[in-house]
């Protein structure tokens, strides 16, 4: 099974900050990597698919990059509504696997 490791597991940031979350796969997954945002008590929401494609309706301050085993999610200019937990997911091979999550908290 492909293991997905996110770092950091949590971070504190201020409104307006640039934030970068990392996700590493235990083996190459090309660009078959998605990012989701989840707020407390809510279902996850798709942000980025295929490593760098922005889902329709998602603000352009969100961007994704990487290929192979190393990926990043960047939020350029953190907004109040961005405080949430972020998960990466690989779909290269079954079982599909998620990273452990990164909680973005208000500093």
Partner 1 sequence: EVQLVESGGGLVQPGRSLRVSCVGTGFTFEEYAMHWVRQAPGKGLEWVSGIGWSSGNIGYADSVKGRFTISRDNAKNSLYLQMNSLRTEDTALYFCTRSVVISGPGQYFNFWGQGTLVTVSS
State yes or no: residue 64 binds partner 1 (CB under 8 A).
no
Q: Which is nearer to partner 1, 16 or 95 (CB)?
A: 95
Coil, helix or strand for 31? Answer: coil
State yes or no: residue 16 binds partner 1 (CB under 8 A).
no
Phi/psi region, residue 52 (left: phi>0; alpha: psi -120 to 50; beta: rest), is alpha
DSSP codes, 7-30: E-SEEEE-TT-EEEEEEEESS--T
State yes or no: residue 50 binds partner 1 (CB under 8 A).
yes
State yes or no: residue 59 binds partner 1 (CB under 8 A).
no
Q: Choose the binding region for partner 1 from 16-24, 67-75, 76-84, 87-95 (rule: CB under 8 A).
A: 87-95
How far apart are alpha carbons 105 and 24 in whole angstroms?
Answer: 22
State yes or no: residue 38 binds partner 1 (CB under 8 A).
yes
State yes or no: residue 65 binds partner 1 (CB under 8 A).
no
Q: Choose the binding region for partner 1 from 16-24, 59-67, 76-84, 91-99 (rule: CB under 8 A).
A: 91-99
Residue length of the chain: 107
Query: What is the Cα 49 distance to its own chain's centre?
Result: 10
Pairing of strands 45-49, 33-38: antiparallel
Residue numbers at the binding site for partner 1 (CB under 8 A): 1, 31-32, 34, 36, 38, 42-46, 49-50, 55, 87, 89, 91-101
């Amino acid at each position: 099974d492909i293991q997905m490791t996110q770092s950091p597991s949590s971070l504190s940031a201020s409104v307006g900050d640039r934030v970068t979350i990392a996700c590493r796969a235990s083996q190459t997954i090309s660009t078959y990597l998605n990012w989701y945002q989840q707020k407390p008590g809510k279902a996850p929401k798709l942000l980025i698919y295929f490593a760098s494609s922005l889902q329709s309706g998602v603000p352009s301050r969100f961007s994704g990059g990487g290929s192979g085993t190393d990926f990043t999610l960047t939020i350029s200019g953190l907004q109040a509504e961005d405080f949430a937990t972020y998960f990466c997911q690989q779909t290269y091979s079954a079982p599909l696997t998620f990273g452990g999550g990164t909680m973005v908290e208000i500093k």
